[in-house]
Chain A
Amino acid sequence: MAEVQLRAVRKSFGAVEVIKGVDLRVPSGDFCVFVGPSGCGKSTLLRMIAGLEEVTDGQVLIGGRDVTDAEPSRRGIAMVFQNYALYPHMTVAQNIGFGLSLAKRPKAEIEDRVRHAADILQLSHLLDRKPKALSGGQRQRVAIGRAIVRDPKVFLFDEPLSNLDASLRAEMRLELAELHGRLDATMIYVTHDQVEAMTMADRIVVLNGGRIEQTGAPMDLYRHPATPFVAGFLGSPRMNLYEGEAARAMGARVYGIRPEHVLLSPERGRWHGRVRHVERLGADAIIHLDVPQLGDLVARAAGETTLAPGSEVWASPQDGTEHRFPA
């Protein structure tokens, strides 16, 4: 368990600067999620913490120790990769114990620690298999086991669930959250999926274009996004955002309202519009409206709504849920 700190970290590949000065403190024991669109630098940042990418400028501290120039294996970290990166020619037990055997630990100790990690992850019955003979979820667990056995101060996850199907992903989200609770270690987790970010994080770091856009607890970011980018990135369906004339009319440079905060009424409201399309998801329905004053407006309604394409409807923002971003 250790605090991770980045001080004015920069990274360039040739002439291209991909990380443009990042300052961040991840408190000890935190589950911190880096989220952002592809190309925002989140993976690069994680790999710099791991020591897989050199830091162009700035410092990386783990547990108060400057590890900027330390070998990856000397940083007290473990990493779980997107494609699991299991050694295909080794059994599950050898995969988990590889680091320990490289460190020339006694055989009995290796066996002991491998079995302990396998127990935590319910892998004990698979120890003699090769990765090829495992399912996606099992492979994921082995990759985590390989991390656990190192007994690291910090766990790093690079989009670990993106290769799993939807139901397995939901299951693993829960498992990882429980694992965090049990191991009580600092975890840094990279994803482009805002659902993973919202559901798992103690703290979300939203990255955009090599800079930190905003940092905070998931619901804080959801309620009080600091920028239109964060507002648009977190939440599904995404927030309705308006610029220009429509926004100026409501006293902002950028005006935003989440679909779940748009109230629809047949008689009265702030905006009048016509239903263009209805997406029925079951529990609720997503209503796409043409509103002359704004343009397109998306609203979330109850699943049993009787609105149909062509209906005329009034829409208004719920009190206190409007977002006005200054210039």
Chain B
Amino acid sequence: MTERRARRSPYPTWFFLPAAVVYGALFIVPTLASFWFSLTRWNLFEAEFIGLGNFRQFFREPFLVQGVVNTLIYGTLTSGLKTVLGLALAVLLTGRIWFRGTLRTLVFFPVLVSTIGVGFAFEAMMHPTRGVINVALEGIGIDGPHWLTNPSLALVSVALVDVWKGVGLATVIFMAGLVSIPQDYYEAARIDGATRWQQFRRVTVPLVRPATITVVTLSLISGLRYFELIWAMTGGGPGFSSDVIASVIYKQYQAGFYGLATAGNVILFGLIACIVLPLTWWFNRREVEL
């Protein structure tokens, strides 16, 4: 056996270093630290250990519990609607249809626009008496609801605007999935006598699955995490009726309850992990069976 001097790899590990330093310091370290600080009463300078006090408080205050429930509603509602509508639009926009390019552009453009700007515009349009939406509904004899001022409707209204803004992304992801399905399958299905609906159910839906997984996961994660639109449109109101965990974190931070805000972060992390990880596991398992 000869003595081996390990030759230097052409792909040096130090290429990871610049990214690792920034990512480690500003993402990993705070994430790990959050587990400790969520157990403390904290003012950024001194942290006093109080065990699970913050979490206990979080689940005792009704408005904080409501935030957790709202997060779940908001996440599933936006994710579900984006997936269904995105697939429908993608089928429409990859088919033989006039104005295809224009339609694709129209559907996608809101994705790129400032969320806050969109929020303000829809807030104005959803004004209960003067807003264009209710004025238009009145024109056809419908008494429009108080979109953002009715506590039981506010969260759903914001979610609908979120879908309006985000469905373009789901659509282009589905479109990429659809065009990668070889036409042969559809031809074979037609020769086998499949109707259009059967082609959609038996060919399109199973084969567009990777795109579906991407859309569901992406929209779920962002739906659970972000609060920009809620912040712009309702500020969490009326009352706390449209608060989600992310906006609660901001409010607690503003109020100086840093330990409580951080506990909110840990809860949000746990919530996302509890939903997304089993979901991806389930998706992957099903994929093997296919």
Classify A-B as touching or not with yes or no (CB < 8 A). Answer: yes
A positions within 8 Å CB-CB of B: 51, 54, 57-59, 68-69, 71
Q: Could you tell me the dominant secondary structure of chain A's interface residues?
A: loop
The interface size bin for chain B is under 10
* B5: Cβ under 8 A from any A Cβ: yes
Return chain A residues, CB-CB under 8 Å to B2: 57-59, 68
A57 x B1 contact (CB < 8 A):
yes
Chain B residues with Cβ below 8 Å from A68 are: 2
Distance to closest chain B CB from A50 (angstroms): 13
Which 10 pairs, one residue from A and one from B, show the smallest C-beta to C-beta distance? A69-B5, A69-B7, A57-B1, A59-B2, A54-B7, A68-B2, A71-B7, A69-B4, A57-B2, A58-B2
Q: Chain B contact residues: over half helix, strand or loop, or mixed?
A: loop
A71 to B7, CA, bound (A): 8
Complex Cα gap A208–B7 (Å): 29
- Report Cα–Cα, A54/B6, bound state, in Å: 8
A282 to B251, CA, bound (A): 87
Most buried by A among B1, B2, B4, B6: B2
CB closest residue in chain B, given A57: B1
Residues in chain B within 8 A of chain A (CB atoms): 1-2, 4-7
Chosen A-B contacts, 13 in total, with CB atoms closer than 8 Å, are: A51-B7, A54-B4, A54-B6, A54-B7, A57-B1, A57-B2, A58-B2, A59-B2, A68-B2, A69-B4, A69-B5, A69-B7, A71-B7
Please name all residues of chain A whose beta carbon is closer than 8 Å to the beta carbon of B1 when the two chains form the complex.
57
In Å, the complex CA distance between A69 and B7 comes to 7
Shortest distance between the CB of B153 and any CB in chain A (Å): 57
* A232 vs chain B, min Cβ distance (A): 36
Nearest CB in chain A to that of B8: its residue? A71
In the bound complex, what is the Cα–Cα distance between A58 and B7 (angstroms)? 16
Give complex CA distance A69, B4 in Å: 7
Chain A contacts for B5, CB-based, 8 A: 69
Residues of A within 8 A of B7 (CB): 51, 54, 69, 71
Among A57, A58, A69, max chain B CB count under 10 A is at A69
Report the Cα distance A51→B9, complex, angstroms.
Answer: 11
With the chains together, A116 CA to B5 CA distance in Å?
38
A280 to chain B, nearest CB (A): 34
B residues less than 8 Å from A51 (CB atoms): 7
Tell me the bound Cα distance from A54 to B7 in angstroms: 8
Q: Closest CB-CB distance, A252 to chain B, in whole Å?
A: 41
Chain B residues near A54 (CB, 8 Å)?
Answer: 4, 6-7
CA distance A69 to B2 in the complex (A): 11
Q: Which residue of A lies closest to B6 (CB)?
A: A54
Return B287 CB to nearest CB of chain A, in Å: 26
Taking the closest CB of chain B, its distance from the CB of A60, in whole angstroms, is: 11
Chain A residue with Cβ nearest B9:
A54
CB distance from B231 to the nearest CB of A (A): 46
CB distance from B7 to the nearest CB of A (A): 6
Separation of A69 and B6 alpha carbons in the complex (Å): 8
Complexed CA–CA distance, A54 and B2 (Å):
13
Residues from chain A with Cβ under 8 Å of B4 in the complex = 54, 69
Query: Once bound together, how far apart are the Cα atoms of A12 and B1, in whole Å?
Result: 15
- Least distance between A81 CB and chain B CB atoms (Å): 15
Distance A71 CA – B9 CA, assembled complex (angstroms): 10
Q: Assuming A51-B7, A57-B2, what are 7 further A-B pairs, CB within 8 angstroms? A: A54-B4, A54-B6, A59-B2, A68-B2, A69-B5, A69-B7, A71-B7
* Nearest chain B residue, comparing its CB with the CB of A66: B2
